[in-house]
Copies of this chain bind each other. A is one copy, B any other.
């Protein structure tokens, strides 16, 4: 018989984006050794619960949100003294959400839930800062070869929103004309006939949407989404 004394948890790195700033969701622990400490949302999985479902449940429970995109990031198991009672191995998930769609709502386990700008993440409990760093890298690289930026935006967005998202997350300037040309050349972003007046001054712009169906069709061929600029 195997005498493992190890428990399995899931944790999520949830990214949100708003007005040029990238945020990560953290929750404040209510109980335990690390009470009051900020950590990533997550928790132990149930015996008969698939991993993905566990993440979704925890996100609902601890922050009241449902994400747009969720994928496994990696498993962190070498922080052996995370908990004194037993070793904890945590499967980390990478998630994207549009913060406008939800009001954060801390629930039973969490005392509070809050968006931290990626540049101002406090010291988190466990090895959660390492997870955030890895997820941040993943976000940056994935943005260039998969159309996941749309999961951070409203369903209808201005072209400048998309452009600013890329600029701020990749931390570099992008030529507006080349960017627009390239994105439109894929045929997966379509122009609606809605025109929106900016709150501020400036010429009104058209709203665009991401055509996911079209994207999935293209994937069956050998289309490769790719945004990379000097």
B residues less than 8 Å from A3 (CB atoms) = 47
**A87 CB contact (under 8 Å) in B5, B7, B48:** B48
Distance (Å) between the CB of A146 and the closest chain B CB? 12
Contacts known (A4-B7, A4-B8, A6-B45); A51 close to B72, Cβ less than 8 A: no
Interface residues of A in 162-203 (CB under 8 A from B): none
Which of these, B47, B72, B78, contacts A6 with CB under 8 Å? B47
Chain B min CB distance to A97 (Å) = 22
Partner of A51 from B4, B7, B44, B77 at Cβ < 8 Å: B77
In the assembled complex, the Cα of A47 lies from the Cα of B50 at a distance in Å of: 23
Question: Does A122 interact with chain B (Cβ within 8 Å)?
Answer: no
Interface size of A in residues (CB-CB distance below 8 Å): 23
**B-chain residues with CB within 8 Å of residue A103 when the two chains form the complex:** none
Nearest B residue to A3, CB-CB: B47
A4 to chain B minimum Cβ distance, whole angstroms, is 5
Which residues of B have CB within 8 Å of A72? 74-75
Chain B min CB distance to A55 (Å): 11
Q: Known contacts A89-B8, A91-B75; decide if A80 and B48 are in contact (CB<8 Å).
A: yes
Residues of B within 8 A of A52 (CB): 78
Known: A8-B8, A74-B74, A89-B91. 16 other contacts (CB 8 A): A3-B47, A4-B44, A4-B45, A4-B47, A5-B47, A8-B77, A45-B77, A48-B80, A48-B87, A50-B77, A50-B80, A51-B89, A72-B74, A72-B75, A75-B75, A77-B91
